Structure 1
Amino acid sequence: MKLLALLMLLPTAASFTINHLNHHLNSGLAPVRVGSPTRTKRLSRVPKLNAGGGAAAGVEQYDGVRIGPPPDLPSLLLHNRIVYIGMPLVPAVTELIIAELLYLNYESSDKPIYMYINSSGTLSQDGRPVGFETEAFAIADCIRYIKPPVHTIALGQAQGAAAMLLGMGKKGFRYALPNAVITLTQPKGQARGQASDIAIRAKEVMANKKVTCDLIAKATGKSIEEVEKDCQRVKYFDGEEAKDYGLVDKVLHSTKDLPVEPSFLS
C-alpha cells in the first residue's frame, strides 16, 4: 500500500518540477538544476542589430555570451543599398537581383546602389552552361531602367555575362579589386532533338552573342567588331587590364577609395 501511494504521488511531483522550471523561463530567469543550490542569474538584454538600423527587441545574453539569433546579413546589406551577385546567373538569382534593384529604386531614386559581382556568369566553374544569357540581359535592362546610379565592383571573378554587367555600371563608378579576374567569352548553348531544333537553338545563341558584344562595346567604347574578335576565345583581364580595356574605371585597394561609402562604413 505504501508503494502504491508513492507511485501515485510521482505525477504530481513531476508536474510541480515542470511548472517550477517554466516559471523561471517565463520570468527571464536562467534555468536552475532541481535539487542543487545553483544561484539564479537573470538574462540580460542588449540592443539588437537589424536591417532597419534601429534598436528594437533585444538579443539575449547569458554570462556575457550572446545566445540570440545571428544578424540577418542579406537584409543588412540591402538596407545599405548593397546588391551581391555571388552565384551563376540562373533564374532564381536573376529574380532576386531584379527584385532588390526595383525595391531600392522605389526606396530612393538618387542614392547609389552598390553591386558587388563575384560570378561565373551563365557558366559553371568547369565551363558548362547553367543559365541563359537572357538572365543577364534582364539585369542589364533593369540597371538601365531604374533611376539610381549603379556602382559595380568586381571581386573574385566576373566571367562572360557577369563581366558585361560589370561594364554596365555608371561610367566613372565601375571598380575592380586588385586580384579580381574579369573574363570575356562568347555564349555557350546546348541543343538536343532533331536537326531543325538544333539549328533554331544555334541561331538563338548567335543572336545572344551579338547582344552581349553590343552591350560590352557600348560599355567600353570599343567597336562591336573588336569586341566580337576578343570574345572568339576566352580573354582574361586583371584589374588594371580591365581598366585599360574600359570595363572598369578604377582598381580599389580600400573602401576609402569609394567616392561614396555605404552608411555603415562611414
Structure 2
Amino acid sequence: MPVDPRHDPMRWRPNPARPPEPWQPEPWQPGPVPPTPGDGGPGMPGWLEERLFDQRIVMLRGTLTPSTASGIAAALLTLDGGAHTGDPAPVQLHIASPGGDLVAAHTIIDVIDAMTGQVHAVVTSEAGGAVLAVLAAADRRAAYRHARFTLAEPRAAGLTGTADEVAAAAGQHLRELEEVVLRLVEATGQTRSRIEDDLAAGRRLSAAEAKDYGLIDRIIGTD
C-alpha cells in the first residue's frame, strides 16, 4: 500500500526550534591589484611610492608626458612645503627617462624654479632629450656610474590645424627649444654652438663624459 508523502517518516521537515538562516552572499575578497601601467613600464606599488615620498624622493620614470609631469610637479610643490617650516632637506628627483614632451619638461622646470627649497637630481639609469633640461634646472646634479645621457633635440608634437595654426605652433616650439639650449649652456658652461651641434647629432655620453661635459656635478660611488 503506497505511503502518503505527507505522513512519510523519512520525509525531511524543518526543525521548528532552529529556523533556516536567511541566505547571505559570500563576502567579497579583494584580489591582487595589478600595477598601474606607465610609459616606462609597470608602475610602482603604492606603499613604495609613499615610502619614497616620506624620504623626499620624487621619481621621473619612462617617457615624460604631460600627465606624468603634472604628477611630478604636484609632488615637488607638496614637498617644498617643508622648506617653509625650516626643513633644510632638499627634494631628490630621481631620473630614469629617455626624454619626452617638451612642454611637459617646462612644466617641471617652472616648478623647480619657483621652489623655495633645493632640488637635487640623480640620474639612475638614463636621461635624454627634453629631460636634460629638467636635469639642468636642478640645484645639484649627480648620476650613478653606469647612467647614460643622450643629447637629442626634443621633437615637436604632432602639429595639426590650419597653416597659420601650424606656423604658430612651430614658432612656439622653436622658442621653447631655445630655452632648453640656454638652460644647458648655463648649466654646463659649454658654448651655445656646441650644445646645438650636439643636440642635432644626438650625441651620447657616459656618466664620466657627462661629468666632463658639465651635465652632472659628481658620480655617486666614485667621489
1:84 to 59, 62, 66: 59
2:106 to 126, 137, 147: 137
Deviation at 1:152, TM superposition (A): 0.6
Mapped partners of 1:97, 1:253: distance in 2: 27
Cα root mean square deviation, aligned = 2.8
Q: Tell me, what secondary structure is at the counterpart of 1:248?
A: coil
Q: Where do residues 1-266 of structure 1 align in structure 2 (5 Å cutoff)?
A: 1=6, 2-6=9-13, 8-9=14-15, 15=21, 72-109=47-84, 110-122=88-100, 131=101, 133-170=102-139, 173-189=140-156, 190-253=158-221
Find the counterpart in structure 2 of residue 31 from structure 1: none
Mapped partners of 2:20, 2:123: distance in 1: 61
2:62, 2:98 within 8 Å by CA — same for their partners in 1? yes
Deviations 1:229-265 (A, max 9, x none): 22122111110010001010111138xx7xxxxxxxx
User: Which 5+ residue runs of structure 1 have no aligned equivalent?
Assistant: 23-69, 123-130, 258-266
- Matched residues, percent identical? 27
Deviations 1:45-67 (A, max 9, x none): xxxxxxxxxxxxxxxxxxxxxxx
Mapped partners of 2:92, 2:54: distance in 1: 11
Q: Residue type of the partner of 1:228? A: E
User: Which 5+ residue runs of structure 2 have no aligned equivalent?
Assistant: 1-5, 28-44
Q: Tell me, what secondary structure is at the counterpart of 2:71?
A: helix
Deviations 1:146-174 (A, max 9, x none): 1221111102211111122122221xx31
Deviation at 1:13, TM superposition (A): 8.4
Distance 1:13 1:137, change over 3 A: same
Mapped partners of 2:46, 2:67: distance in 1: 23
Deviation at 1:196, TM superposition (A): 2.9
Mapped partners of 1:186, 1:246: distance in 2: 18
Deviation at 1:71, TM superposition (A): 6.8
2:66, 2:103 within 8 Å by CA — same for their partners in 1? no
Q: Residue type of the partner of 1:186? A: E
Deviations 1:11-63 (A, max 9, x none): x58749x8xxx9xxxxxxxxxxxxxxxxxxxxxxxxxxxxxxxxxxxxxxxxx
Find the counterpart in structure 2 of residue 43 from structure 1: none
Deviation at 1:3, TM superposition (A): 4.7
Deviation at 1:107, TM superposition (A): 2.5
Q: Residue type of the partner of 2:130? A: A
